[in-house]
Structure 1
Amino acid sequence: MRILDNIISDRGSKYAVSGGPCRNEDEAKDFIKTLCRKKKFAKATHNTWGLLAGDTPVKNDDGESGAGMVILRMLEREGLRDHIVVVTRWYGGKHLGGDRFRHVRDAVQLYLDTLRSG
């Protein structure tokens, strides 16, 4: 499990991104459970994720409507299969509007960049 914490901050909201090998929805749920064993992540407002595995992409918005699809599109463009990517947000008290999607994209891109660089 790779975790990049405190990567984006905007109007009080803070973001992290994490990921690791994952082959199906059951493993994705286990990944989220493991991530949430860290108290900080268990207290997050949203743990949104996407996974390309098997024939059907799997995602969970965790209340951050549309964010899972943003993650899936980026994984498809990258061709990254059997690897879950989770974007975590701690809500800071102010609505971010469409900026939240930009933050999800930026978080996933940062994660993908770290995968490429080793």
Structure 2
Amino acid sequence: MQTFDGIISDRGSKYAVSGGACTSADEAKVFLKTLRKTKKFAKATHNTWGLLAGDTPIKNDDGESGAGMVILRMLEREELRNHIIVVTRWYGGKHLGGDRFRHVQDAVRYYLDRL
């Protein structure tokens, strides 16, 4: 598991991105459980993720509607399979509107650039 914390901050919201090898929905659950063992990530507002396991796209918005699809599209473009990417957000008290999707993209790009 690789995690980059504090990579984006906007209007009080803070973002991190994590990822690692993952081949199924069950492994994704284990990955998220491991991530949430860190108290900070357990208290996050959203842990949104995407995974291309074989030919099956799997995602979870975790309350951040549409964010999982943003992650999946980026994984598809990179042809990155069997690798989960989780974008974590701690809500800062102000709505970000459409900027939240840009932040998800930026977080995933940050991760992909460091693979």
- Bin the TM-score by the shorter chain: over 0.9
Letter in structure 2 aligned against 1:24: S
Task: Describe the SS at the equivalent of 1:114.
Answer: coil
Structure 2 alignment gaps of length 5 or more: none
Could you say which residue in structure 1 is the equivalent of 2:39?
39
- With normalisation by structure 1, the TM-score equals 0.97
- Unaligned runs of at least 5 residues, structure 1: none
Structure 1 stretches of 4+ with a deviation exceeding 4 A read none
- The question of 1:84 aligning with 2:89 is answered no
Percent sequence identity is: 82
2:110 corresponding residue in structure 1: 110
Question: Which digits, 9 at most, give the CA deviation of each residue in 1:81-117, with x for residues without a partner?
Answer: 00000000000000000000000000000000000xx
Pairs aligned (count): 115
| RMSD between superposed Cα atoms in Å | 0.4
Normalising to structure 2: TM-score of the pair? Answer: 0.99
Matched with 2:3 is 3
* 1:19 counterpart = 2:16: no
Deviation at 1:56, TM superposition (A): 1.4
